[in-house]
């Protein structure tokens, strides 16, 4: 016997009033039909609210990240639903998990393939410092091979902590000077990692 | 086939080269002169009553205080028909850590011996491709030897005080 088809005969009307996150407008001159602000703030607004993460997940922190990206915690609320596994399109490298010394050149290569501006987040104790794996085979923190912007502590961190780290990256992206990536200071930083 | 009959057969064949028979947790264990390892493996493989045709594991133990016989190469064998296992050990000098390769008999020994080389620096003579398998190729020591501490010695940010050892806190 065929099963009866059920229709949603009492659809719930969506309530979009005051229910959608809208990025705050930057400071500027506002008037009838025009809005003037500086370019840096507009660019920062765009960058901040559409960071494309590249998840580099090697262990349990990666599982927490999957929860972060899924419905309950919903990383998409921050404009970051577009995970990509091609470094050339991404802005944010999220390294989650133990990086063995044999893996270190791959992390570095992925970082070098990313286009500027790029940010790096070390999620969890292992990516930040080697964690409990204080041993001959494990890299003692990814900051030995790539510069890191935000460290998220925890073993593994809860999704809230990853979101907090992500919001700090947003903060950095939102307040970054457009000239920073061309500055001597930045070039020196890259030079200290042997990256041109 | 019992441990006693295996021991009897091996002793009849190899005489004084095999020593130190014991049965920890019921598993037959003995020692054989390092230059006889392949001869023994071949005998165990060919002899129809024994037929130990599965090399479960090749591994190494480091005994730093046992001068002249620091490294023990351990072979684990399995008879798949009668489901009997045993192990034997060959002790070699760490100054000259050489032993004949089991790859002439077991293809599976290839990676197992590479791993043993990687971690303990045992040179398996005649191995077709004896290079590091697990660790980074630039590594210039054998990390599982006892003289190397487990912890990464390249760290500069490690404060011994935080780990409750050394430092100003006693």
- Which structure tokens are listed for A173? 């992206």
With contacts defined as CB-CB under 8 Å, which chain B residues touch A130? Answer: 152, 155
Buried b / exposed e over A30-60, threshold 16 CB at 10 Å, is eeeeeeeeeeebeebbebbbebbbbbbbbee
Any domain includes B156: no
Inter-residue contact B93 to B45 (CB < 8 Å): no
pLDDT tens digits for range A32-85? 999 999 999 999 999 999 999 999 999 999 999 999 999 889 898 888 888 989
Q: How far apart are CA A89 and CA A86, in angstroms?
A: 6
Q: How confident is the model at residue A130 (pLDDT cuts 50, 70, 90)?
A: confident
Model confidence band, residue A7 (pLDDT cutoffs 50, 70, 90): confident
* Residue at B159 is within a domain: no
Instruction: Note the CATH number of domain A51-192.
Output: 3.40.50.12280
Contacts of B156 in chain A (CB under 8 A): none
Residue B79, domain extent: 3-145
**ipTM of this predicted complex?**
0.74
Q: What is the DSSP string of B4-48?
A: HHHHHHHHHHHGGGEEEEE-GGG-EEEEE-GGGHHHHHHHHHH-T
Residue A27 forms contact with B (CB below 8 Å): no
pLDDT of chain B, 170 residues: tens digit per residue: 889 999 999 999 998 899 999 999 999 999 999 999 999 999 999 998 888 999 999 999 999 998 989 999 999 999 999 999 999 999 999 999 999 999 999 999 999 999 999 999 999 999 999 999 999 888 888 989 998 887 776 666 666 676 666 665 44
Work out the burial of residue A169: count CB atoms within 10 Å of its CB; fewer than 13 is exposed, 13-18 middle, 19 or more buried.
Answer: buried
Report yes or no: B83 at the A interface, CB cutoff 8 Å: no
So what's the pLDDT on residue A24? Answer: 82
Q: Which CATH number fits the domain that encloses residue B38? A: 3.30.460.80
pLDDT number for residue B89: 95
The total of other beta-carbon atoms located within 10 Å of residue A147's CB is 16
- CB-based contact, A132 to chain B, within 8 Å: no
Query: pLDDT-based confidence at A17, cuts 50/70/90?
Result: confident
Asked if residue B135 belongs to a domain, the reply is: yes
**Interchain CB contact of B154 with A (< 8 Å):** yes
Give Cβ neighbours of residue B6 (< 8 Å, ≥ 6 apart).
Answer: B28, B50, B84, B86
The DSSP letter of residue B134 is S
Binding residues of A: 60-61, 126, 155
Q: Do A136 and B155 touch (CB under 8 A)?
A: no
Q: How many independent structural domains does chain B possess? A: 1
- B92 assigned to some structural domain: yes
**Residues of A comprising the binding site for [4Fe-4S] cluster?**
60-61, 126, 155
A16-37 mean pLDDT: 84
Residue B153 lies in a domain: no
Mean pLDDT score of chain A: 89
In the DSSP assignment, the letter for residue B1 is: -
Instruction: Show residues of chain A in contact with B163, CB under 8 Å.
Output: none
Q: Say whether pLDDT at A22 is over 80.
A: no
A102 CB near a chain B CB, below 8 Å?
Answer: yes
Domain-located, residue B169: no
Q: Contacts of residue B135 in chain A, CB cutoff 8 Å?
A: 101-102, 136-137
Please indicate if any CB of chain A lies within 8 Å of the CB of B152: yes
Please give the Cα distance from A153 to A96 (Å, whole number).
Answer: 11
């Amino acid at each position: 016997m065929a099963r009866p088809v059920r229709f949603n005969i009492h659809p719930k009307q969506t309530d979009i009033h005051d229910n959608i996150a809208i990025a705050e407008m930057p400071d500027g001159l506002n008037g009838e039909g025009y809005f003037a602000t500086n370019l840096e703030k507009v660019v920062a607004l765009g960058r901040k609210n559409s960071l494309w993460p590249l998840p580099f997940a090697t262990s349990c922190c990666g599982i927490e990240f999957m929860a972060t990206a899924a419905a309950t915690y919903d990383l998409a609320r921050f404009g970051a639903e577009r995970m990509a596994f091609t470094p050339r399109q991404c802005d944010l490298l999220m390294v989650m998990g133990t990086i063995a010394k044999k893996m270190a050149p791959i992390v570095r290569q992925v970082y070098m393939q990313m286009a500027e501006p790029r940010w790096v987040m070390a999620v969890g104790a292992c990516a930040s410092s080697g964690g409990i794996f204080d041993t001959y085979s494990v890299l003692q923190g990814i900051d030995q091979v790539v510069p890191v912007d935000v460290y998220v502590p925890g073993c593994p961190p809860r999704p809230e902590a990853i979101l907090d780290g992500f919001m700090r990256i947003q903060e950095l992206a939102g307040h970054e000077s457009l000239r920073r990536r061309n500055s001597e200071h930045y070039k020196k930083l890259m030079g200290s990692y042997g990256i041109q | 086939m019992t441990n006693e009959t295996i021991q009897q057969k091996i002793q009849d064949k190899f005489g004084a080269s095999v020593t130190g028979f014991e049965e920890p947790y019921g598993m037959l264990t003995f020692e054989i002169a390092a230059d006889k390892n392949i001869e023994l493996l071949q005998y165990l493989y060919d002899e129809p009553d024994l037929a130990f045709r599965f090399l479960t594991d090749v591994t190494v133990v480091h005994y730093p205080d046992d001068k002249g016989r620091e490294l023990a190469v351990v072979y684990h064998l399995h008879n798949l028909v009668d489901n009997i296992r045993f192990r034997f050990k060959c002790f070699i000098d760490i100054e000259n850590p050489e032993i004949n390769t089991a790859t002439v008999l077991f293809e599976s020994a290839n990676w197992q011996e590479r791993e043993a080389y990687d971690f303990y620096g045992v040179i398996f003579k005649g191995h077709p491709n004896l290079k590091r398998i697990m660790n980074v190729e630039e590594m210039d020591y054998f990390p599982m030897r006892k003289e190397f501490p487990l912890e990464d010695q390249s760290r500069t940010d490690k404060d011994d005080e935080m780990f409750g050892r050394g430092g100003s806190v006693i």
